[in-house]
Amino acid sequence: MTALGWVRAVVAYLDVAATTRVDPRVAEVVLHWMTEDFGNAGSRTHEYGARAKKAVQQARTFLAGTVGAKPEELIFTSGATESNNIALLGMAPYGEKSGRKHIITSAIEHKAVIEPLLHLKEAKGFEVDFLEPGPSGRVSKEAVLEKLRPDTLLVSLMHVNNETGVIQPVAELAEVLRKTPTFLHVDAAQGYGKVPQDLTAPIDLISISGHKVGAPKGVGALVTRRRGWDKAPLEPIMFGGGQERKLRPGTLPVPLIMGLYEAAKDFQENRSRWERDARRMREELLAALGRTRFQINGDVEHSVPHILNVTFDGLNAEALIVRIKDQVAVATGSACTSASYTPSHVLTAMGLPDDVATNGLRFSWFPSQVADFDPDELAATVAYMQPHAT
Ligand SMILES: Cc1ncc(COP(=O)(O)O)c(C=O)c1O
């Protein structure tokens, strides 16, 4: 029993797409920058401030380097939601001034992209094309390019879908768009650190979230990469002390930034082992599920190795979650909408029928954070609950 009266149970954690555990080593770094070196990176008159400023610069240089950008091209934010808002809403004034008010995106984006774009559509008269990917869950480069027009300001396409794990062709798209006046924004909340080679492509704007790679919640980044002398003409959506090139004013959360730095370094160092182990876990899970009747939602061949979305024939996903909640923590679709029973907007946009889209289950894992998971036990429960085939 903990102080709050919770009984600590070892529930296998298969929901890293919602958030990850902060490694105690990373937490120690955060604690250090809270309790020892606690200065404000903006304080110019003493050693505390100087030390914080230097540390932030080191973190900035490293993190920018992971996507092939320069330190001055990265600003710290509170996470991918804020980065998406700064990128999308921040481009709007330029679109209005230049008469380029067309935006292309996909219908499988996270709400943190869909909602700001709907705002631009409804409040500012932008025209937004929401592309549907079909059952593979992958939006094709050709489908995007087909919609491209002279007045297309921006393409916003996510890196890795948070419900299916399907990797979108952002690198290929970047190579083509770089030769046009259209800017590319990529919400890389789920892909950052995991498919690093894609993000070194010439993408103009990249949103990063810390808590999907073992950093604390509440920190992230926005990369604004230059095109030669040119860069995405962002205008601020918030005003204050002028920090972060005036695009994200506010006192820098040095402990969180240092936590992000440490977690990203760890992830980079251990990525090949992480990938191998995550792949092996996916094989074991799929092998165990072989005794049940299920379909995989999305193209596994183009997926990250640690996210799998399945629908079990005739089985209500919520009922299964309740049944296994003391053993396994999983999610239906996006965490932000999991309180409601509406079909997943991602699975619906893939053209899947309502019953399949409502009952999609997302398994997502870091092999080192799973604790006690027995895929055979899960498969046995599912098989027991599944209606017998007639
Ligand atoms: C694809 C995607 N974009 C954006 C977000 C929001 O990220 P943050 O929690 O850092 O604001 C998430 C988080 O679930 C996500 O999966």
**Tens-binned pLDDT, residue by residue, of the chain (390 aa):** 455 555 555 899 999 999 999 999 999 999 999 999 999 999 999 999 999 999 999 999 999 999 999 999 999 999 999 999 999 999 999 999 999 999 999 999 999 999 999 999 999 999 999 999 999 999 999 999 999 999 999 999 999 999 999 999 999 999 999 999 999 999 999 999 999 999 999 999 999 999 999 999 999 999 999 987 788 999 999 999 989 999 999 999 999 999 999 999 999 999 999 999 999 999 999 999 999 999 999 999 999 999 999 999 999 999 999 999 989 999 986 444 455 578 999 999 999 999 999 999 999 999 988 878 999 999 999 999 998 765
Six-digit token string for 123 = 């409040």
Spatial contact of 367 and 277, defined as CB atoms under 8 Å apart:
yes
Active site residue 105: no
The single residue of 336, 353, 354, 376 carrying the catalytic annotation is 336
Q: Which residues contact 382 (CB under 8 A, 6 or more apart)?
A: 289, 292, 294, 312, 315, 320
Q: Does domain 12-21+271-385 have CATH number 3.10.20.310?
A: no
Q: Residue 339's pLDDT is what? A: 55
Distance 17 CA to ligand 1 centre (A): 9
CA gap 44, 230 in Å, rounded: 31
Provide the whole-model pTM: 0.95
CA of 335 to the centre of ligand 1 (A): 10
d(CA 82, CA 260): 16
Q: Which of 206, 269, 169 is nearest to 64 (CA)?
A: 206
Domain 24-264 matching CATH 3.50.50.60: the answer reads no
Gap from CA of 359 to ligand 1 centroid (Å): 22
Q: Which of 81, 156, 157 maximizes ligand 1 atoms within 8 Å of its Cβ, making it the mutation to test the pocket?
A: 81
List the domain boundaries for the chain.
12-21+271-385, 24-264
Name, in order, each residue with C-beta under 8 angstroms of 329's C-beta and a sequence gap of 6 or more.
11, 12, 13, 14, 15
Of 129, 146, 145, 138, the residue nearest 165 (C-alpha): 138
Ligand 1, pocket residues at CB < 6 Å: 79-81, 110, 112, 158, 162, 187, 189-190, 209, 220
| Contact indicator for 241, 42 with CB cutoff of 8 Å | yes
Nearest CA to ligand 1 atom 7: 80
Residue 336: per-residue pLDDT = 45
